[in-house]
Amino acid sequence: MKAVTPLIRTKIKGVIAVGLLSAASLTILFALPAQQTNNNAQAEPEVTVPSTVSSSGDNGGMRTRADAILPSARYGWQVDPTAASVTLEPLDIRSVTMNAPNQIGVNRSVAVSPTTRAQKFVNPDGSQIIVVVIKSSGASGIGVHFRNFALADGEEVHVYGAATDSIVFGPFTDKGPWGSGEFWSGTVDGDTIVIEFYKRTDENGQGFEISEVSHILAELDWRLRSNEPDVLNCEVDASCYGDMEKNAVGRILFNNNGMFVCTGTLLNNLAQDETPYFLTANHCVDRQAVAQTVEVYWFYQTTSCNSGVLQNWVHSPPGANLLATQASNDFSLLRLQHNAPGGAFFSGWTSVVQPLGTNVFALHHPDGYIPPSVNSYLRRSTGNLISTNKNCLNLINGYEIDWTSGSAEPGSSGSGLWNSNSYLVGVLSCGPSPATCNNPQAGFSKFANFYPQIRQYLFSNAPSAPVANPATFVASHSFRANWRSVSGATGYALDVATNNSFTSYVPGYQNLNVGNTLSRSVTGLSASTIYYYRVRAYNGSGTSSNSNVVTVSTLSPTGFPIVITNPATLITSHSARLNGTVYPHGSTTTVYFQYGRTVSYGLRTPNQTKTGINYQNVAANISGLSAHTTYHFRAVASNASGTRYGGDRTFTTP
């Protein structure tokens, strides 16, 4: 990683105007940074940070049916995606109300659960695969809204489309990605969506409910409800230029009581640690509930100048945390839950106010399409700055740009503005309605104006905020808190509370320094109680903002055992050690392993007895195996409340 040499000008800008903002006009979420009291550039050193390219080896969290091992494939079942459990009739487009020019879909109410005319497959080990198929006739894209999502240990849900190359979302476990039991799945192409639920034998998880589907309108329906023109013929293909910044731009799709599109930009930070900070407009994403639904389409570009053919794009699953947002500066800074894909570009930026006459360019996705539709591929607009005091919609004291080529349209909102040195200087807020090629102009918020509100994230050697993962080893009086590592962190601090506003801390767990570790056992808790935890990273330069909040419900004092199958060890040609973990749940519990060449097993180890209210390791040595053979095994635990089965694992003898 190259070292960053920030350009800091010591001249301090005078404050141009000061006006107190009402609490409603400034919303700071997730990290609670200090509030600012005016809309103009603050008395801060002027800062410029260069760009960098993502070295990530992943694909932005994207999986497809070609590379995802679904439970149905694992057990050899064939799911029929054409056998709809629920079919919604085509929309009467005349009755659809569109609330904004960038709206491309609506939500439709349903009442679906795993018992709704599902396809059911019983596996040899007693587990089940339950498949629910929902069709919203005529949709060009569809997603589902889960509520009351609560799965037992080892259960999982995957969501995908009917096409063999469809994207796959999940696996969703426990109470879902936000720990609340409520979330949107993500959007698949077409009008059919498949929900595949792997259910363990005799587990008493709650399951889930689906209360809504998102229905992205087909182009003809959408055009009938919009007064906006199709993509303007003066728009210029960004692939005709060599700007690396084009790989920083993402088309975003999000749900705000309907499906909407905007544009946003990946930003670099001083640490160059590839934290996925993503900048868009407040009028696109203005609160955390919307941020959690944000999906990003990366590399939505043509293969070459004016080819009209899309290159391969990456579709990152939904999920972001809203770090800072403000209506009067029309910006929102997100931290995406998934890393940017390899090859993505982290744009440089400058907090220097740009003077009149500055030559600028913008990169944006006009109109309302998403891949695989070609129409909204990335465009480049070029112009110059003709005013530094543009007011439009909620924007105050922004830049006004006169385009000399290209324009801006609905769907372009939230896109970046760069100066001739390729530093981001603004965010698109407004333009003429309807969009036009005749004397086109646009209003952009000033990065310099809102930079003081996001400085702590972008220009600090303190580490970025961690991402807290779901708790594991949840027991009656304890659980293990988990989080992801952060580049540059030398340690972490943990908060645990009984309310999600963190005003009532668990004794001993307020700003607890846990050292440089990625988990911590939290003990001394009450049974059947809801707890919340969050974590911060620190190093010698400072402490990060808070992570997301994870919700944990401790178990009842007694109940079914919990059993986990762990990988086998000490594997030889004719023997192995089988491993597991068991939580007796306050009762005397019998534990053993089943094993064999198939998931029917057929062999078992002797019983072992475990007691107490702690997770305990269990192991058994087996012999008499055949060389070069694959074996299946799982742990089984029984107490007075019943029997539970660990997940199936395999090993192969040498």
**What's 578's domain CATH number?**
2.60.40.10
pLDDT at 298: 98
Task: Specify the 3-state DSSP secondary structure of 340.
Answer: coil
Query: Does pLDDT of 11 surpass 70?
Result: no
Task: In whole angstroms, give the CA distance from residue 364 to residue 419.
Answer: 15
pLDDT beyond 50 at 27: no
pLDDT, position 229: 60
Tokens at 333, concatenated: 């800074």
Residue-wise pLDDT for 178-209, tens only, equals 988 999 999 999 999 999 999 987 656 679 99
* Segment holding 649, helix H or strand E: strand 649-652
Q: 350: which strand partners?
A: 48
What pLDDT does residue 14 have?
27
Identify whether residues 522 and 502 lie together within a single domain: yes
Q: Are residues 278 and 377 in the same domain?
A: yes
Give pLDDT, residue 124.
Answer: 83
Is residue 1 situated within a structural domain? no
Domain end position, chosen among 399, 425, 458:
458
Residue with token string 């944000």: 294
Nearest to 215 by CA among 365, 371, 103: 103
For residue 39, the model assigns a pLDDT of 47
379 within 8 A of 364, measured Cβ to Cβ: yes
Tokens 């003066």 identify what position? 234
CA distances from 427 to 280, 349, 449 (A): 7, 12, 11
Q: What is the model's pLDDT at position 20?
A: 23
Q: What is the pLDDT of residue 272?
A: 86
d(CA 198, CA 205): 11
Is residue 445 within 8 Å of 329, Cβ to Cβ?
yes
Residues 422-448, mean pLDDT to the nearest whole number: 92
Q: What CATH number does the domain containing 258 carry?
A: 2.40.10.120
Virtual CA dihedral for 376, 378, 381, 382, nearest 10 degrees? -170
Mean pLDDT for the stretch of residues 76-98: 91
pTM: 0.79
| pLDDT, average across residues 323-328 | 96
The H or E element containing residue 459 is none
Percent of the chain with pLDDT over 90: 74
Domain assignment present for residue 436? The answer is yes
Residue 326 within a domain: yes
- Residue 64: inside a domain: no
Are residues 373 and 477 part of one domain?
no
In tens, the pLDDT along 497-552 reads 999 899 999 999 999 999 999 999 999 999 999 999 999 999 988 898 899 999 99
Which of 197, 224, 251 delimits the end of a domain? 224
Rounded CA-CA distance 495/151 in Å is 26
Neighbouring-strand partners of residue 398: 390
547-562 pLDDT per residue, tens: 999 999 899 999 999 9
Q: What is the pLDDT of residue 57?
A: 78
The predicted pLDDT at position 97 comes to 84
**Arithmetic mean of pLDDT over the chain:** 89
State the pLDDT confidence band at 587, using cuts at 50, 70 and 90.
Answer: very high
Same domain, 382 and 363: yes
The per-residue pLDDT for range 53-82, each reduced to its tens digit, is: 988 777 899 999 988 889 998 888 999 999
| Angle, alpha carbons 640-646-651 (nearest 5°) | 145
Give the number of residues written for the chain: 654
335/277 Cα distance (integer angstroms): 5
Which helix H or strand E contains 175, and what residues bound it?
none
pLDDT of 9 reads 30
DSSP alpha helices (H): ranges in 406-537? Answer: 447-458
Backbone angles phi, psi at 435, to 5 degrees: -60, 150
β-strand 128-136 against 86-88: which pairing, if any? parallel
Asked if 448 and 353 count as a contact pair (C-beta separation under 8 A), the reply is yes
From start to end of 54-155, where are the E strands? 63-64, 86-88, 103-112, 119-122, 128-136, 141-150
Residue 291 has pLDDT above 90, yes or no: yes
Of the two residues 197 and 31, the one the predictor is more confident about is 197
Query: Are residue 249 and residue 295 in the same domain, yes or no?
Result: yes
- By residue range, what is the domain housing residue 306? 7-59+227-458
* Dist. CA 523–CA 534, nearest whole Å: 16
* Residues paired with 380 in a beta bridge: 363
Count other Cβ atoms within 10 Å, centred on residue 503: 8
Domain limit, last residue, from 438, 458, 478: 458
The larger pLDDT score, comparing residue 316 to residue 55, is at: 316
Residues 396 and 300 in one domain: yes
Are both 306 and 276 inside the same structural domain?
yes
Q: Residue 463 falls within a domain, yes or no?
A: no
Q: How many domains does the chain have?
A: 4
Same domain assignment for residues 578 and 491: no
Report which of residues 161 and 488 the model is more confident about: 161
Q: Is residue 166 part of a domain?
A: yes
For the residues 357-363, what does the mean pLDDT come to? 98
- Do the beta carbons of residue 197 and residue 157 sit within 8 Å? yes
At residue 611, does pLDDT exceed 60?
yes
Residue 506 lies in a domain: yes
Q: What is the mean pLDDT of residues 421-441?
A: 91
262 has pLDDT over 90:
yes
Q: Residue 193 belongs to a domain with what CATH number?
A: 2.60.120.290
Residue at 394 is within a domain: yes
- Residue 52 reports pLDDT greater than 80: yes
Assign residue 283 a region (left: φ > 0; alpha: ψ between -120 and 50; beta: otherwise). alpha
Q: Are residues 430 and 568 in the same domain?
A: no
Quick one: which H or E segment has residue 566? Answer: strand 562-569
